[in-house]
A and B are shown apart, each in its own frame.
Chain A
Amino acid sequence: MVKTTIQKRERLILGNRACAEGAIAAGCRFFAGYPITPSTEIAEVLAWELPKVGGKFIQMEDEIASLAAVIGASVAGVKSMTATSGPGFSLMQEHIGYAFMAEVPCVIVNVQRGGPSTGLPTKIAQADTMQARWGTHGDYHAIALAPSSVAECFHFTIRAFNLSEKYRTPVIVLTDEVVGHMREKVTFPESSEIKIINRMKPTVHPGWYQHFEVNPHFVSPMASFGEGYRYNITGLTHNPDGFPTARPVAIKEKLDKLKNKITHNVNDIVEIREEFMEDAHIAVFAYGIVARAARQAVHMAREKRIKAGLIQPLTVWPFPDVYMEHMLEQLDLVIVAELNQGQLIREVMRVNTGKTRVRGLNRYDSELITPDQIFQKIREEK
């Protein structure tokens, strides 16, 4: 059993625990989940910690039920989260779509492991990158954050809650087996230093309230069940008042709203970390744990006077199209390093309208990509 009390400002902790503590710091007071390696510690920590802060934990019968319960709790006004890995993430796709359609804030942590299927329960991969984007059916627009350290597990989980509350949409934290299971020192901020965003509440009279109001921000104020607003929510395509519709105009309006709230806010949602990009001709594009190796590799390259730099998307989805287009214009070569057979490279190639060479460095044998491998790739391709 995982025990402790959250106290000291500086602690050496597990990545998964940092996710759990980040959730509590963000105001998460409900967790429903189903055990799966390598995410289980998140559930175990929250089973222990949530009741201490007046929150609730429940172990459900599967991952489908877990996300359903999370959505139910969020509709009832409580910030909610689940955590899983590969096979469980597959099972959650139906309700990721529901949360997106019904505009219910919630956070899903996917601690990636090797796949397909049961794959490699205790080994790393980044092969759910595209599933996080396209996993559920229908036109869907994802937000996914990718921590590369234990401290980032803490901070990105808070940010995931903030984004989900701000945009009334599910947000995925895409970590992995290594980040989840490594221990690093984290300096925790005071609670007063943590920025918390809560969902916007309606100010109108219940008679005028529309749960899916169309407005210029694409995000509608959200009342909770029991607050006197008595609205309907459904996964059926619906009017702004929440009732099902089959009118083409209303259908388009709804789907545009869902799209626009993400695409019109890319600048707010997306965060990118750069290193040596001011004068770089070569960039390594990598997220999560791979970005750490990539950072070392570009330092090695710089020592050899190779003008290499690092682009690390801290937000994997939405993809920063405009930013990357701009970067590609000034680059001769981009090496996309990832722990799969080539997923994010498709995005880089999609926005690459110029003559930049795009090369993949892929590993999917359960081992990490090393700094040396990336450095060698830079030397070979430059």
Chain B
Amino acid sequence: MALLSKVTHQYLRTKKQFPNVWCAGCGIGTIMGAIIRAIDGLKLPQDDVVMVSGIGCSSRMPVYVDFNTLHATHGRPLAFATGVKLAQPNLKVIIITGDGDALAIGGNHFIHACRRNIDLTTILINNSTYGMTGGQVAPTTPFMKIGTTAPYGNRERSFDIAKLAIAAGAPFVARGTVYHMVQLRKLVEEAIQKKGFSLVEVISHCHTLYGRLNKEGGAIEMLKWQKEHAIPISAAGKVPPEKLRGKFLTGVLWDIDFPEYCEEYDKVMAEAQGKM
């Protein structure tokens, strides 16, 4: 774990849980580092942070970090997190979810969490596949890419996660990559500070399965791909449209204000108790 410096060390359950289940070179460890640095940068007490996840390689993260951690069921971490946050609005609730977790089995919970606007921070790790179960096709697998359950090429369209979240009502939507780690940390910090539902989609790589099946090389080649295909939203205006084709935007893609649910419910309680 060369990547995890002294800053991160105090946040890890080093005694209990290392070594981890991730393949060497997987992007998830780097994302964990960025999240930890963001939490450290914001000086959030560990006792006040709750990390909730579903099931998958990405969703294994909470087991390794020294917060209040809830490793839930496949696809449903947002529903568990909803209960945690309503019960203890003072806690910072961060959700770690995979693209299959959030958008296939958990798609309904995802759009409703966006719509409902509870102050939750969701880190969606998009590796274009189902890692944990062995490289099956996911709702994010691009058209004609290979998965073990799409051996002739994926004939379905993939989700544009950010557009989906914005359309569903999420007030804060950002996208980063494993390669752009400094930017990722900043995006996570902003997302945590946002009052309301926030989503950070992180473009990651599963080189052992998706990379191998699609002949996209190892971790290094896939990181290079991220570097070459990410365009900061701040620069997007200056790039000619033909050069944007096949690329993706990074940074804060959407940031609006809308009344947050817990604060609204405080008003409900005040009204019910006849205080207003």
Contact = CB atoms under 8 A, between A and B. Distances in A.
A77 B88 contact: yes
Given A51-B268, A235-B73, A243-B17, A73 B109 contact: no
B48 interface: yes
Interface residues of A, number: 45
- Looking at B69, B79, B82, B273, which has the most chain A CB atoms within 10 Å of its CB? B79
A228 B80 contact: no
Contacts of B62: 232
Contacts of B85: 72
B78 to A, nearest CB: 8
Contacts of A61: 79, 108-109, 112
Interface string B46-58: 1110101000000
Interface string A308-345: 00000000000000000000000000000000000000
A contacts with B: majority SS: mixed
Interface string B67-104: 11111110010011111111110110000000000000
Nearest to B112: A61
Interface residues of B, number: 40
Contact of B67 (A64, A230, A236): A230
A44 B84 CA distance: 22
A72 B70 contact: yes
A232 B272 contact: no
B87 A72 contact: yes
A228 B84 contact: no
Contact of B47 (A70, A230, A234): A230
Q: Chain B: interface secondary structure?
A: helix
Interface string A169-206: 00000000000000000000000000000000000000
Contact of B91 (A78, A80, A225): A225
Given A30-B87, A68-B73, A56 B82 contact: no
Nearest to A54: B269
A173 to B, nearest CB: 19
B68 A226 contact: yes
A69 interface: yes
A51 B80 contact: no
A58 B82 contact: yes
Interface string A129-169: 00000000000000000000000000000000000000000
Interface string B27-48: 0000000000000000000111
Residue picked from A48, A225, A226, most chain B C-beta under 10 Å: A225
Contacts of B16: 241, 243
Contact of B87 (A56, A231, A232, A236): A56
Given A51-B273, A72-B80, A56 B265 contact: yes
Contact of A62 (B69, B71, B88, B108): B108
Interface string A71-109: 111111110100000000000001100100000000000
A235 B82 CA distance: 18
Contacts of A74: 83, 87
Contacts of A98: 72-73
A208 to B, nearest CB: 14
A226 B91 contact: yes
Contacts of B271: 51
A71 B91 CA distance: 16
B63 A234 contact: yes
A232 B71 contact: yes
A230 B44 CA distance: 14
B71 A233 contact: yes
A360 interface: no
B190 interface: no
A60 B72 contact: no
A233 B86 contact: no
B265 to A, nearest CB: 6
Contacts of B17: 243
A19 interface: no
26 contacts: A30-B83, A51-B265, A51-B268, A60-B82, A64-B79, A68-B79, A68-B80, A72-B79, A72-B81, A72-B84, A72-B85, A72-B87, A75-B70, A76-B50, A76-B91, A78-B87, A80-B87, A94-B73, A224-B88, A226-B50, A226-B68, A229-B68, A232-B13, A235-B72, A241-B16, A244-B63
Q: Which 10 A-B pairs have the closest CB atoms?
A: A72-B83, A68-B79, A69-B83, A76-B87, A51-B272, A65-B79, A73-B83, A234-B71, A73-B87, A225-B68
